[in-house]
Structure formats: C-alpha cells, structure tokens
Structure 1
Amino acid sequence: MNIKNLLIMSVYISLFLTGCSYKTSEESVDMSTYYKNKNSIHSNASFQESDYQKYKNYKQQQLSKNHSKSSIFDEFTNTNYVTKKTALNNELFDFYSKWEGVRYKLGGESKKGIDCSAFIQKAFKEKFDLEMPRTTLMQANVGKEIKKNELEIGDLVFFKTGKTKHVGIYIDNGKFMHASTKIGVTISDLDNDYFNKNYWKAQRIID
C-alpha cells in the first residue's frame, strides 16, 4: 500500500472515530415525533418573519458597501430592528432552510450527504464568517463550556455514546438543529429520551 492510500485511509479512520455517527435504534422516537409534529416544532422555534426580512434587506445593502459578514451582524444587532438573539435565530434558520432533509453521510460535506460536524462548520462559516474545525471532537474544544441551563441560540450541544460523538446547534425552546443519522438535517428536542440520556456538554462560540 503506497503513502497516498495510507493517508486517505487515516482520514476516514479519523472521521469515523471523532465524527458524529451514533446508535439509531434509540432515536426512533425522535423520528416519529418529528414527522408528526414537524410544523409546530419549526414554528415554535422561529421568530417573526418581518424581522428576518428586515435583516436580509439590511445585509444586502451593507454587502454592496463591502462590509464583512461579521461587521454587518454586529451593526445590525446594535440597531433597533431586532435583538442579537433574533438575528442569530434568523441567520440559523436561513441556513437550515437550505439544508433541511439532506441525508446523513459520514464524512459528507454536500447536499448529497452531510455529517453533523460538517453541518456545524458550514453554518458558522456561511452565516458568521467563523472558521470551525472539521471534527466533532475538535469542535467540542472551541469557545467556552457552559451549563445546560445556560443554553442560548447559537450554542453547540454535544452528545456521546462510547467513542462516538454528535453535535448540533441550539435554537431555543429546548430544541436544536443537526444532521441526524436517522432523519438527515432536522430539528430535534433535547428532552427526547435518547438525546437527554446521551447529552455530554455545551460550548458557547458566539458571545
């Protein structure tokens, strides 16, 4: 086996060990309740559409003036349009709307299939211009650790079962968005038996 093949194999082994695959049999409750309550789950987690439209219009105007994404976000949240919490939510739901239902694929990074850590990496890069590590284990060391009862929109929530790790983005009201191995990109409830039992930690990336 040549050096190139060894390197490729090592990358896949690393993704497998630190990626976001996890047992799916215990998540069956989450899948069934998701399809049953999909509309109420999404509406309860989102803010006013009017605020989101104001934010999009503001971003488009400022981008034409060569502002960076991060400065646009800071400027907008200092105005009277919306709070920082609402702006964070709007950005995350805009990203989620483009990826909802995309199937899970370990090591995947496209609409053909994506894993949980790639979903996080793309969300923070596209919406907040923040560079995140590629693996779940490395993402678990970014930012500052917070308690579960301190969770706010945009915080990362982590789960573990043995050697496997999983990550999602908290979106308020006890819910988080993630790339589920069972459903694909979806919104789930932290109080779900599976996620509650396997909850590990939370990290705050955006202060």
Structure 2
Amino acid sequence: MTVWDRPEPPARPVPLDRERIVAAAVELADEGGLEAVSVRKVAARLNAGPMRLYGFISTKEELFDLMADEVHAEILPEERPADWREALGVLAHRTRQAALRHEWLADLLGGRPALGPNGLAVTEAKLAALDGLADVDTVMRAAETVSAYVTGAIRREVANLRAERATGLSKRDWQRASGPHVTRMLATGRFPALAKAVYDGTHVDAETSFATGLDWVLDGVAARLDGAS
C-alpha cells in the first residue's frame, strides 16, 4: 500500500496530520536542502514525538514523495492554454520557477514517476496537451523529451547556484578568477571551437538560456508531430 492509499491514524491530543507534516518538511528543506529533513527534525518542528510521525509515513523516501507532490501543485496553471506548444512551455517555465523557490526539488526530478495527485495532474496536463496530435507512442516520447530537457536544465542551474553559495563567488567572480587559466589553455590552440565560443559567443543569463533551449526542443517536437500527422 502506497503512502497515498494508507489512511491517517486517529487524532490525538497534539493535532497532527500529513498536511502539517509535509508543510514542516518543506520548510526544513527550503532552509537547508533535503539533508536537513529527517523524521526527528520534522517531529521537533511540530513539537511532536518522532514515533508519532511513523503513523503517517513509513520512510523518509515517502516523506520526500509527499513533499515533491506538494510542490507539484505550484506547477499546474489555473487555466491550460489550448495550444499544445504554449501549454508545454507554461508547464516547463512553472517547473523551473517552482524549483528555484524550492531548490531541493531539482534532486527529486527525473526519477520514478510522481504518483501523488498533483504529480499525476502535471503528467496528465503534459500528455493532454499533445493528445490527438499523433499516436500515443509519439505523444509519450515527445512528453518525455521535453521533460528530460527541463529536468537537465533545472539541475544545471540549481547546481550553479549551489556552487556560488559554497564558494562565495558569483558567476562573474568565478569567471574572473578562472580567467588566467582558461586564457592559457585556449592559447595552446588545442581547443579552437571552445576558444571561438568563449571569445565570440554571446553569453546570456540562465532564464534566457532555458527559454531558448526549450524553444529548440519544442521545434523538434513540432517537426516530429508534423511528420506523424
């Protein structure tokens, strides 16, 4: 029986339910990442004994599932655009925004399918946007391709943000500090394509990079859908 199907235990003198447990766990994760979340720490945040929580969850992994599903509710727009491309684009950008508010979400994206009600609703929205445009296998591969790009781009962006905090160096500061080494390596002539990218390429911010890559992925999906019709 999954955590979604298991009934909650009866109320006791200290009020407790999954909603309060998940809210406390999300707060802890927002403050210190997934490593800051444990049954003991969540119980302490709620002024409850750790054993009380095991009436609601069996493992920390179940708690992570509940936390991820809670944040998936932030991804769903109030209204779904009729155009498939706009619908997938909105979901992608809202996923990125949710992950920037809750950086720990990046660590949980891309694994097994999300089975909570909000996670299933997000998956439904992705597939429904493409439904009827091609056969079901093409629709599934298209949705998976977009999700793979979104997950990878988000993880890279969050990893950079964490590196900035860990080193105390902004991206610009890190580039300045690394500049002499990079200049020496490029001067060897061993990396001509990289040198061209460094010296001649346009460097954009993370949001622009995400949006551009997403547009290119959706271009590829559109071409595949046209070929399948």
Same fold (TM over 0.5): no
Q: TM-score range by the shorter chain?
A: 0.3 to 0.5
Larger RCO of the pair (alpha carbons < 8 Å, separation 6+): 1
After TM superposition, the score normalised by the length of structure 1 is 0.35
Higher helix share: 2
With structure 2 as the length reference, what TM-score do the two structures score? 0.33
